[in-house]
């Protein structure tokens, strides 16, 4: 929390923008099959505190992907914007949509046991299996599946 700072971001076409308070500079990657199918690769994201402020909210679609998760995207250009806990204002935003990506550091990978063999990140990260990810995140509602 000490590292919290304001972030802003937008989709590829610019129809949807957001402002939020980042919990920290930490970026996580999720290798689960749902995230890979949604984005075409691992999902890279940051955690935010409180409810974000959106503009162009009418351009934001939300897909309920599981019991606990909802995935937000731009309905005009298809950009992947956020994963949130269903029914709660607990959001993560995709690192690639941030306006300023210079302050970030890549620190954690989750669902590492779901990662396919064709890629590996060279970064030194904390790596959690799906079971560990679920156990770690369930209480804080950060699970990304
Ligand atoms: Zn867009
Ligand atoms: Zn995932």
Q: Rounded to the nearest whole angstrom, what is the distance from the C-alpha of residue 68 to the centroid of ligand 2?
A: 12
Q: Rounded to the nearest whole angstrom, what is the distance from the C-alpha of residue 138 to the centroid of ligand 1?
A: 31
- The pTM score is 0.90
Q: Could you tell me how far CA 35 lies from the centroid of its own chain?
A: 9
Q: Rounded to the nearest whole angstrom, what is the distance from the C-alpha of residue 91 to the centroid of ligand 1?
A: 19
pLDDT digits (tens, 9 = 90+) for 15-47: 999 999 999 999 999 999 999 999 999 999 999
Yes or no: domain 5-138 corresponds to CATH 3.30.70.260: no
Q: Which ligand approaches the C-alpha of residue 60 most closely?
A: 1
- What pLDDT shows up at residue 143? 46
The 3-state secondary structure of 18-62, one letter per residue: EEEEECCCEEEEECCHHHHHHHCCCEEEEEEEEEEEEECHHHEEE
Q: Rounded to the nearest whole angstrom, what is the distance from the C-alpha of residue 34 to the centroid of ligand 2?
A: 6
Q: Rounded to the nearest whole angstrom, what is the distance from the C-alpha of residue 60 to the centroid of ligand 1?
A: 8
- What pLDDT shows up at residue 138? 61
How confident is the model over 106-135, as a mean pLDDT?
Answer: 96
Phi, psi torsion values for 48, nearest 5 degrees: -125, 155
Given a cut of 60, is residue 1 above it in pLDDT?
no
Q: Rounded to the nearest whole angstrom, what is the distance from the C-alpha of residue 10 to the centroid of ligand 2?
A: 21
Q: Which ligand approaches the C-alpha of residue 145 most closely?
A: 2
């Amino acid at each position: 929390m000490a590292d919290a700072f304001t972030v802003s971001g937008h989709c590829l076409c610019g129809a949807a923008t957001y402002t939020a308070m980042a919990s920290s500079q930490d970026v996580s990657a999720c290798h689960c099959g749902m995230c890979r199918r949604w984005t075409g690769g691992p999902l890279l994201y940051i955690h935010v505190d409180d409810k974000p402020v959106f503009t162009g909210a009418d351009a934001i679609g939300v897909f309920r992907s599981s019991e606990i998760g909802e995935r937000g995207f731009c309905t005009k250009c298809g950009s992947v914007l956020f994963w949130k806990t269903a029914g709660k204002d607990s959001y993560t935003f995709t690192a690639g949509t941030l306006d300023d990506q210079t302050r970030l550091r890549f620190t954690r990978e989750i669902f590492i046991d779901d990662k396919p063999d064709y890629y590996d990140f060279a970064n030194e990260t904390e790596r959690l299996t799906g079971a560990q990810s679920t156990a770690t995140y369930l209480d804080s509602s950060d699970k990304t599946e």
